[in-house]
Amino acid sequence: MSDKKPAESKIWELGPESEFRFELDPGQSLAIKLVQGRAEIFGFELAEGKQHLFGFECKAAVFTWKGCVIEVTGEPSTEYVSDDTPMRTYGNLHIALEQMRVRALSEIRGSPVPHQDKTRSDPPRVLVLGPEHSGKTTVCKILTNYAVRAGQGWTPFLVNVDPSEGAWAAAGTLSVAPISGPIPTASPANSLGTAATTAPVSLSSNALLPLVYWYGHPETKRNPLLLDRMIRNLGENINDRFELDTQGRASGLIVDTPPSFASGPASSNPRLRLIKACIDAFTINVIVVVGHEKLNVEMQRTYGSLVQVVKIPKSGGVVEVDHSYRERVHNYELHTYMYGQIIPPPAGITNGTMGGETLTDLVLAPSSTVVNFSDLQIYRIGLETMAPSDALPVGATRTVSEMQAVLVNPASPGSGLLNAVLALLGPANPDENERYDEEILDLPVVGFLVMWVSSFFQVGLGSFTLHCMQHQH
Ligand SMILES: Nc1ncnc2c1ncn2[C@@H]1O[C@H](COP(=O)(O)OP(=O)(O)OP(=O)(O)O)[C@@H](O)[C@H]1O
């Protein structure tokens, strides 16, 4: 038995439309129990009487529409209640999107639609833009959770084109997943929910099946051309899926974007090209700008005649995280990918759950495998260090283009493989005649490898691999 003193518990009474905000430091964990009333974390409803656990420097808020009482066990570095939240605006935005879904489904099923105007019966395809720390990911999560909680069987597609966020995989990826159950928030290591695994135990009941592409860098400016291509790949796959999945098509999609899309000069900057790539690839019809007047005006001017541009306020609760925090989150993501999610509960809490799942169901047991380098083909897209092409001297051309797959020799001292994360890609086309030069750029990720050195090279392959979306051709 542990001889640790039980952690201190506090009772918080929240008034209508207020929220309890907390921030955890490294190593801290927290348990929150809903004692009375109804409450939610970024749209995910808390079950009454259950201990909900949080860890890995989680920063979040328990919001209530009508008032509630919660019991908080543990000592977060920051905790306070605020009744100044933008949730009413977010709720209204959700209602507007919900009306679009209902009209879209009526149209798809051939039922009479109140509006004759065809464009009014498009499902919501929302692009969320905003500067750093404006709460874009949180807005995407709230809107997605409200859609799946509407009880209409919606499965909105949540798209992440921010490579600095791991979403369901690791940082450096772009991904999409159809969401059928509310996404919990317990740890930034899987802030958008948990992907299904190939582990032979029963795991998260709410496991997602994302489609993932490997961009390979957390920063968008490293290779905007490649990013553009991945965005278009995601769009093509989603459109294929929508052709067969009418309920999914009517549910629409919500796209989370990187902060670099919101700032920088308009000219000679890839951000406007990347925004355009998103609008084209995902057939965006609503642009949501979170708390940025200048960007709102810019989007109104550029796209106002084609799509609806809506500005919403930023929440005062959004935490401004720094570079070292992001690096730690990238490590948490990889660790969670390999080992599953393990949050040690505060002392005295024995029956904690994470997003409604029992803790033991989220633990993985990876094994290491020694693989000969001669059995692997490792590619790098472009060069290790590559300035954008518009930064090259006038008239200069590259020897290796941004999109070129360069075979890496693991034995060469400058291979750059030590401690690198590699993506394992799905198989190339079995028909040799169908293959093409840049095919590697269009293959989805099926797993990740971490390269490390002991006395010899080893390759660790997580027991947890991503599944691609099933296409029913
Ligand atoms: N109301 C809130 N109360 C407490 N924490 C919050 C609140 N809203 C968001 N956060 C936290 O603030 C952090 C940043 O929010 P979020 O990731 O949504 O911002 P972002 O604009 O997507 O960030 P980035 O610029 O990195 O893409 C997250 O840890 C999130 O959980």
| pLDDT given for residue 470 in this prediction | 28
* Cα distances (angstroms) measured from residue 276 to each of 165, 287, 310: 21, 12, 17
Q: Which two tokens stand for residue 172?
A: 């450096």
257 lines ligand 1 (CB under 6 A): no
Instruction: Write down the pTM of the prediction.
Output: 0.90
* Cα distances (angstroms) measured from residue 416 to each of 46, 219, 223, 409: 45, 18, 18, 10
| pLDDT given for residue 464 in this prediction | 31
Q: Given the CA of residue 259, which atom of ligand 1 is nearest to it?
A: 25
State the DSSP code for 213: E
Distance, in Å, from the CA atom of 50 to the CA atom of 351, rounded to the nearest integer, reads 8
Distance, in Å, from the CA atom of 351 to the CA atom of 373, rounded to the nearest integer, reads 45
340 lines ligand 1 (CB under 6 A): no
Distance, in Å, from the CA atom of 321 to the CA atom of 234, rounded to the nearest integer, reads 28
Beta strands in 110-236 (DSSP E): 125-129, 157-160, 173-178, 211-214
> Do 103 and 223 form a contact (C-beta atoms < 8 A)?
no
Give me Rg for the CA atoms of the chain.
Answer: 23
Q: How far is the CA of 60 from the centre of ligand 1 (A)?
A: 8
What is 87-312's CATH topology?
Rossmann fold (3.40.50)
> Bridge-partner residues for 354, per DSSP?
357
> Do 403 and 226 form a contact (C-beta atoms < 8 A)?
yes
* Amino acid identity for residue 219 in this structure: E
21 lines ligand 1 (CB under 6 A): yes
> Do 261 and 274 form a contact (C-beta atoms < 8 A)?
yes
Ligand 1 atom 17 nearest Cα: 137
Same fold, 87-312 and 368-461: no
Torsion of CA 259, 385, 175, 54, to 10 degrees: -70
Q: How far is the CA of 168 from the centre of ligand 1 (A)?
A: 17
Ligand 1 atom 9 nearest Cα: 318
| pLDDT given for residue 463 in this prediction | 31
| pLDDT given for residue 282 in this prediction | 97
Q: How far is the CA of 188 from the centre of ligand 1 (A)?
A: 10
Q: How far is the CA of 86 from the centre of ligand 1 (A)?
A: 13
Ligand 1 atom 29 nearest Cα: 59
| pLDDT given for residue 121 in this prediction | 82
Q: Which two tokens stand for residue 456?
A: 């010899």
Which of 54, 63, 187, 318 to probe ligand 1 with, by most ligand atoms within 8 A of CB? 318
Low-confidence ranges of the chain (pLDDT < 70): 1-3, 113-120, 198-206, 265-268, 356-362, 383-400, 452-473
> Do 193 and 177 form a contact (C-beta atoms < 8 A)?
yes
3-state DSSP call for residue 152?
coil
| pLDDT given for residue 385 in this prediction | 55
319 lines ligand 1 (CB under 6 A): yes
Q: How far is the CA of 437 from the centre of ligand 1 (A)?
A: 40
Beta strands in 210-279 (DSSP E): 211-214, 253-256
Which of 77, 138, 165, 263 to probe ligand 1 with, by most ligand atoms within 8 A of CB? 138
Distance, in Å, from the CA atom of 119 to the CA atom of 308, rounded to the nearest integer, reads 11
State the DSSP code for 226: H
DSSP result, 316-330: TT-----HHHHHHHH
| pLDDT given for residue 211 in this prediction | 94
In the annotated binding site for ATP, the residues are 19, 59, 133-138
- Kindly list the domain boundaries of the chain, sorted by start residue: 87-312, 368-461
Q: Classify the complex by whether its ipTM is higher than 0.95, answering yes or no.
A: yes
- The CATH number of the structural domain formed by 368-461 is 2.40.30
173 lines ligand 1 (CB under 6 A): no
